[in-house]
């Protein structure tokens, strides 16, 4: 008897999923547990595994299709089995709709040429996931030069992200993709070999063939939001509309913290980050300020959470993800750093599972690496607040009648004013500041 392969429902809020790529084709023999497709949910991308042994009889929806949850997307069974007639009609309609959607108008030859150029740039003949192709375009690397790690010999996004990258401005990367120029062949004039538009122009001047045809073309491009980006936008709008929020900003002197971090990394051979210390300090501060680790309950009540599960905002090519480190206050600094790195890597590679992003009680968002000195992060409901971590700046201070240079970090705390008042929030952010300015207390 033929069995259904359905679009899974991985969370209460999930209503639909996107089939990114089929890893099998009709007629393939699969075993229970074999990955058959890569799908994108409202939180992450994941491999959909078969629940049955058998042959793929029919793929109903092609790659790129958005399908409601628990809807049949394929059939598996014994060769020769007949499917219900209605399923054959659905399959025909689904493929017809996909063909109509992806058809390219004859009136758009320039856009088609640009897209073909970019596909050639990243190796259209190489078997790779769509996420890997997008990452290759963004990094300006060729898929032919990347060793695949996929079970079916395909290049995955993690393979591209781990490959040596070439630093380039967004404009230079776009021009290189349109002109089929490998950035690895360009000698960048910027710091660390960063490639600028002028470097590409110089390269074109050195080659008559390129010089004759080097006419940068900039086309408008309509890009569909990923499922993750759509649900993130919806939840952020809902949060900002429903919660009376206040943001308080503070500054912490992290001069000693930087010294302690350097010493630990040298002695332990580790790679502890500033964010590791900030998040662990936040977890410790939440234990001392339990109201910040609470949420509104039914009626006029607050639910104080017994566990401190810290959400960590991670930017990925598909959108913002927030994996959760459970019982964050129970970790040592090295243990916390290891857990954070593993979750961040899984997020960038699209391997986070729904349970990796559930149960958060407070969130930390770090944009300091981009030079941001203050911002207003939006609360991840139903949490009481979110801490924004900002850039570290040099600041001259008078200490013991001497002018010394100190390292100052910005902290931005957004909180739900229904749960926490201004004074309580100020005490909480000061607790974090005190931990960061006396870093050995974080390690105690």
Pairwise CA distance, residues 190 & 212, whole Å: 26
Using CA atoms, how far residue 64 sits from 19, 38, 97, 115, 152, in Å, is: 5, 10, 11, 17, 19
Pairwise CA distance, residues 14 & 359, whole Å: 16
In this structure, the dihedral spanned by the alpha carbons of residues 27, 31, 32 and 38, taken in order and rounded to 10 degrees, is: -60
Tokens linked to 273:
């980050």
Pairwise CA distance, residues 395 & 252, whole Å: 11
Q: Using CA of residue 186, residue 188, residue 189, residue 193, what is the dihedral sign?
A: negative
Catalytic-role residue among 95, 191, 240, 417: 417
Establish how many alpha carbons lie within 13 A of residue 153's alpha carbon, considering only the half-sphere containing its beta carbon.
5
Question: Is 240 known to be catalytic?
Answer: no
Report, as residue numbers or ranges, the catalytic residues. Answer: 417
């Amino acid at each position: 008897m033929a069995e259904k392969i359905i679009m899974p429902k991985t969370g209460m809020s999930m209503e639909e999923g996107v089939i990114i790529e089929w890893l099998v084709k009709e007629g393939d023999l699969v075993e229970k547990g074999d990955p058959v497709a890569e799908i994108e949910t409202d939180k992450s991308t994941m491999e959909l595994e078969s629940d049955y042994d058998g042959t793929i009889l029919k793929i109903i929806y092609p790659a790129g299709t958005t399908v409601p949850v628990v809807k049949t997307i394929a059939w598996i069974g014994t060769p020769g089995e007949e499917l219900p007639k209605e399923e054959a009609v659905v399959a025909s309609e689904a493929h017809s709709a996909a063909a109509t959607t992806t058809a390219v108008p004859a009136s758009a030859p320039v856009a088609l040429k640009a897209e073909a150029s970019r596909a050639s740039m990243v190796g259209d003949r190489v078997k790779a996931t769509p996420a890997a192709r997008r990452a290759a375009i963004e990094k300006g690397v060729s898929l032919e030069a990347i060793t695949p790690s996929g079970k079916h010999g395909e290049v995955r996004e993690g393979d591209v992200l781990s490959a040596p990258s070439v630093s380039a401005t967004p404009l230079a990367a776009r021009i290189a993709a349109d002109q089929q120029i490998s950035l690895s062949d360009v000698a960048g004039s910027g710091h660390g070999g960063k490639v600028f538009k002028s470097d590409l122009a110089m390269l074109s001047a050195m080659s008559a063939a390129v010089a004759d045809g080097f006419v940068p073309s900039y086309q408008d491009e309509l890009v569909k939001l990923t499922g993750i980006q759509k649900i993130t936008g919806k939840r952020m709008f809902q949060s900002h509309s429903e919660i009376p929020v206040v943001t308080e900003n503070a500054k912490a002197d992290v001069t000693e913290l930087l010294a302690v971090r350097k010493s630990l990394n040298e002695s332990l051979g580790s790679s502890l980050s500033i964010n590791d210390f900030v998040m662990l300090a936040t977890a410790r501060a939440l234990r001392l300020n339990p109201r910040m680790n609470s949420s509104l309950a039914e009626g006029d009540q607050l639910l104080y959470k017994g566990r401190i599960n810290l959400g960590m905002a991670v930017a990925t090519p598909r959108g913002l993800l927030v994996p959760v480190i459970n019982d964050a206050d129970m970790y040592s600094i090295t243990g916390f750093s290891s857990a954070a790195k593993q979750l961040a890597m899984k997020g960038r590679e699209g391997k986070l599972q729904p349970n990796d992003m559930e149960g958060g009680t407070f969130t930390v968002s770090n944009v300091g690496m981009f030079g941001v000195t203050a911002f207003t992060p939006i609360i991840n409901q139903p949490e009481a607040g979110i801490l924004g971590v900002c850039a570290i700046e040099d600041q001259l201070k008078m200490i013991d009648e001497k002018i010394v240079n100190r390292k100052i970090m910005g902290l931005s705390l957004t909180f739900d004013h229904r749960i926490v008042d201004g004074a309580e929030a100020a005490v909480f952010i000061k607790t974090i500041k005190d931990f960061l300015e006396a870093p050995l207390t974080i390690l105690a």
